[in-house]
Amino acid sequence: MATAYHNLSEYDFNSVPDASEMKFGIVVSEWNYNITGALLQGAIDTLQKHGAKPENILVKHVPGSFELTYGASRLIDSTEVDAVIAIGCVVRGDTPHFDYVCQGTTQGIAHLNATCGIPVIFGLITTNTMEQAEDRAGGKLGNKGDECAITAIKMIDFSWSLEK
């Protein structure tokens, strides 16, 4: 569903499992930090709203969105998190760089999801303008960070349900 028809911060609170025993890793890009910082805060606030303990939320920064895959991979290998949220923002420019970064990051995160054993949540905003990014980072379309946090909680719950 297109974001223009769905507020990223609206959801049924009661449909989200308790996160009090879950451990989260968040890898966030420093590039466009005015956007990624707002997404990060949205994710942290939503995780805590659903019971996640601050000490169970590990945040690491990487220089740009292309580095999210490596950052997430290292976080998975070096810690005992139950899911990783990868947060970045790429705004289209005048060169094909946008396409390469978006494609590479998307493929990298998809690969991690298929191979690493824990959920890696795709929190990469790809927009044509900075205004569109702002709209998705706490603006009129809500906060993609909220949506990523809910997805992480639900995917951990899904994974745990298969282990029983």
* pLDDT over 60 (residue 15): yes
The second-level CATH assignment, the architecture, of 20-163 is 3-Layer(aba) Sandwich (3.40)
* pLDDT over 60 (residue 1): no
In the prediction, which pLDDT does 4 show? 61
Alpha-carbon distance of 68 to 29, in angstroms, equals 7
* Averaged pLDDT, 95-100: 84
* Averaged pLDDT, 87-99: 88
In the prediction, which pLDDT does 2 show? 59
How many CB atoms sit inside 10 A of residue 134's CB?
18
Q: Where are the domains of the chain?
A: 20-163
**pLDDT band at 164; cut points 50, 70, 90:** low
Yes or no: say if 47 and 153 are a contact pair by the CB < 8 Å rule.
yes
Alpha-carbon distance of 110 to 52, in angstroms, equals 25
Which of 19-28, 90-99, 140-149 shows the lowest mean pLDDT across its residues? 90-99
Q: Which of 50, 61, 97, 111 is catalytic?
A: 97
What pLDDT, in 10s, does the model give residues 125-139? Answer: 999 999 999 999 999
**pLDDT band at 98; cut points 50, 70, 90:** confident
**pLDDT band at 3; cut points 50, 70, 90:** low
Active site residue 97: yes
What pLDDT, in 10s, does the model give residues 31-83? Answer: 999 999 999 999 999 999 999 999 999 999 999 999 999 999 999 999 999 99
